[in-house]
Chains A and B, each alone.
Chain A
Amino acid sequence: MFEWSEEQLMIKEAVAKFVESEIQPKRDELEHGDLPPYDVIRTLARTFGIDALGRESFKRRIEREKKKEDVAGESEGDPFLGSPKEGGDGGAAAMTLIPIIELSKVCPGIVTAMGVSVGLAAGTIMSKGTIAQKERWGLDLLTFDKIGAWAITEPNSGSDALGGMNSTAKRDGDEYILNGNKTFITNGPYADTIVFYAKLDDGSGTNPRNRKVLTFILDKGMEGLVQSKPFRKMGLHSSPTGELFLSDVRVGKDRLLGETEDETGGTGRDSAKDNFVTERAGVAAMSLGVIEECLRLSVEYAKSRLLWEKPIGDFQLIQLKLAKMEVARLNVQNLVFRHIEMQKAGRRLTLAEASAMKLYSAQAASEVAMEAVQLFGGNGYMSEYRVEQLARDAKVFQIYAGTDEIQVTHIARDLLKE
């Protein structure tokens, strides 16, 4: 594909209209007024029937699973719309990515809060949970009746999350006792459902780095679980980020993802890695939204801002900025289109490809947004002109879902493997 289909453009326009009339007017409150994004997210889900689609695809999937049909990988890249073949001519991937692009033009934080809840928290439960767990926790997340968090990062292990994890799960009869701290957790302060990763401490002498990672599903308000207030941060204000503290949280096996410690079941290492591709494609789409919006605003400004009696667009140094933004837009759009095409063909990006896409897109978005601030001069530094927010928001694309440096290591590992 080299352009959006007519149907995809309709989705794009509908979401853009929603953003314009429902989100733009609340931007200040979301940015500076500590307004949690969840009401907006629920309105969005209801308006476009995302909740109903989630419910339907959930039902179909559970029915098939009960009949023991093979549904492995069907929700790949798209936890709420079902298989890649559903969802019109662009496949489900396009249906997921188009709203991400449009929302990111104004509010990347909403995308983060939404994506973590439905993509990571629900996605993990839907791919590794038992049918009972999917029914108990998955459905409410897919419909946004509940909000989810996905907690892997700790104060002492971010990039090294799986190896350096200090959170522990100790067996106690049929139950587990969970302890540990998580940090930088999106939706952490408000989440109803938390997917929590911890190392199995079976009392053996195994080096903690090599111990099994288990995944548990927790509910807000459980004894021993504390959810912090949101952090103050550089940007992405509309996505609440916080800490989780667990002291002796007691859980039954029903909360162990997949209800097994087995490698093929719900083990944490697999479930965490499965999310890489989904997450990285999502960041590429967010980057595209930021780039498209910064370019649009910059072109407008270059035409209308007059200096020395001419528009600044006449100056070659400004033209260079616009040209570089256009190059970035084309490249990132091509990466997003390629991902959609591959999903449609039932193929999956390799880890190296997904990482390369995320690395390039995140850097491009950050650079384009910073250059937009520069092009706007003093106005660029003022929040009224919006590009400063996008620049602050875009910076996080290079940090979460694996830092730039980690993407490099993943690409290199793949290139250099024997």
Chain B
Amino acid sequence: MNVVVCVKQIPDPATPGEMDSQTNTLKRDGKLIMDDSDSYGVEMGLQLAEQAGGGEVTLVSMAQDGETSGLRTALAMGAAKAILVSDPALKGSDALSTAKALSKAISRANPDLILMATESTDGYTGTTPVQVAELLGLPSVTFAKKITVDGSSIKVERQTEAGYDEVTCPLPAVVTVTAGVVEPRYPNFKGIMDAKKKPVEELTVSDLGLDVSEVGSSGSRQEVFEIVAADARQAGEKVVDEGEAHQKVIEFFEQLKLI
């Protein structure tokens, strides 16, 4: 069972992000970390490879300046190797451009299964995984909370608002993993020490057989015209109880359609 897990390396969400006024996108220079929402896919991939009793997890990531610090975290957790796509020509890529680069990189690893997060924590478009599947000509299942491998197909419990659907799908396939459905392991000390020695193959756009006009800002069909700061959160309403407060609470719940 060879699993590819796509891992996005993003600016640490704990430190306030800065926007690039030229491109209206997030500034991504400086140290990047593994997107927390990808840690669930990494964990799921490791578990599936372990359960299958063979095979390994390969990471695929696209980041600028050959950035690998976020990948090291996933390598320390137990992934065997990584493919990093890094090329100045990728600057300004939208979701589709990104999907083009990722899908080319993924196919080099020849995986049985591709896991991705439902959406990234810095971009939140949530569209890349299905675009990757389409470009690879593979089926995709989104919002997985459980994956069971059964020979050459998988059974996926797909989270819905009401509960979950059971989906069966042939392999290879692209599956997005919902955050919080598995407990990502801590990298252990040996894993951390070994992470530096694990292979990270760095590829450019031309290595992938893509033309620079297909990716980056030139290949992107999306343009961000304007960004505005979100409204500051309004202070809540204070209700002083003079015997009538319960009525106010009921009205509030009714307004939210909770009762």
Residues in A1-22 with C-beta less than 8 Å from chain B: 6-7, 10-11, 14, 17-18
- A48 at interface (Cβ–Cβ under 8 A)? yes
- B193 at interface (Cβ–Cβ under 8 A)? yes
- A53 at interface (Cβ–Cβ under 8 A)? yes
- A411 at interface (Cβ–Cβ under 8 A)? no
Residue of B nearest to A44 (CB): B186
- Asked if residues A49 and B191 are in contact (CB atoms below 8 Å), the reply is yes
Q: Whole-angstrom distance between the alpha carbons of A11 and B189 in the complex? A: 7
Residue of B nearest to A6 (CB): B69
- Asked if residues B193 and A88 are in contact (CB atoms below 8 Å), the reply is yes
Tally chain B residues at the interface, Cβ within 8 Å: 14
Chain A residues touching B, range: 10 to 19
Q: Whole-angstrom distance between the alpha carbons of A10 and B189 in the complex? A: 9
Q: Whole-angstrom distance between the alpha carbons of A306 and B190 in the complex? A: 46
The SS class assigned to the B binding surface is helix
CB-CB under 8 A from B191, the residues of chain A are 49
CB-CB under 8 A from A10, the residues of chain B are 72-73, 76, 187, 192, 195
- Asked if residues B186 and A18 are in contact (CB atoms below 8 Å), the reply is yes
CB-CB under 8 A from A11, the residues of chain B are 189, 192
Q: Which of A17, A50, A52, A88 contacts B192 (CB 8 A)?
A: A88
Residues in B64-79 with C-beta less than 8 Å from chain A: 69, 72-73, 76
CB-CB under 8 A from B195, the residues of chain A are 7, 10
CB-CB under 8 A from B186, the residues of chain A are 14, 17-18, 47-48
Residue of B nearest to A52 (CB): B190
Residues in A53-89 with C-beta less than 8 Å from chain B: 53, 87-88
- Asked if residues A53 and B190 are in contact (CB atoms below 8 Å), the reply is yes
CB-CB under 8 A from A88, the residues of chain B are 192-193, 196
Q: Whole-angstrom distance between the alpha carbons of A6 and B192 in the complex? A: 10
- Asked if residues B187 and A14 are in contact (CB atoms below 8 Å), the reply is yes
Residues in A75-129 with C-beta less than 8 Å from chain B: 87-88, 95
**Given A7-B193, A10-B195, A49:B188 Cβ within 8 A:** yes
**Given A7-B196, A10-B195, A87-B193, A47:B72 Cβ within 8 A:** no
Q: Whole-angstrom distance between the alpha carbons of A99 and B198 in the complex? A: 24
CB-CB under 8 A from A53, the residues of chain B are 189-190
Residue of A nearest to B31 (CB): A6
Residue of A nearest to B193 (CB): A88
Q: From residue B257, how far is it (CB to closest CB) to chain A in Å?
A: 35
Residue of A nearest to B185 (CB): A47
CB-CB under 8 A from B193, the residues of chain A are 7, 87-88
Q: Footprint of B on A, CB under 8 Å?
A: 6-7, 10-11, 14, 17-18, 47-50, 52-53, 87-88, 95
- Top-9 shortest CB links A-B: A49-B188, A88-B193, A48-B188, A10-B192, A48-B189, A47-B186, A49-B190, A14-B186, A14-B187
User: Can you name 9 extra interface pairs (CB under 8 A) apart from A7-B195, A88-B192?
Assistant: A10-B192, A14-B76, A14-B186, A47-B188, A48-B186, A49-B190, A50-B189, A52-B190, A87-B193
A-B contact pairs, 24 of them (CB 8 A): A6-B69, A6-B196, A7-B192, A7-B196, A10-B72, A10-B73, A10-B187, A11-B189, A14-B76, A14-B186, A14-B187, A14-B192, A17-B186, A18-B186, A48-B186, A48-B188, A48-B189, A49-B188, A52-B188, A52-B190, A87-B189, A88-B192, A88-B193, A88-B196
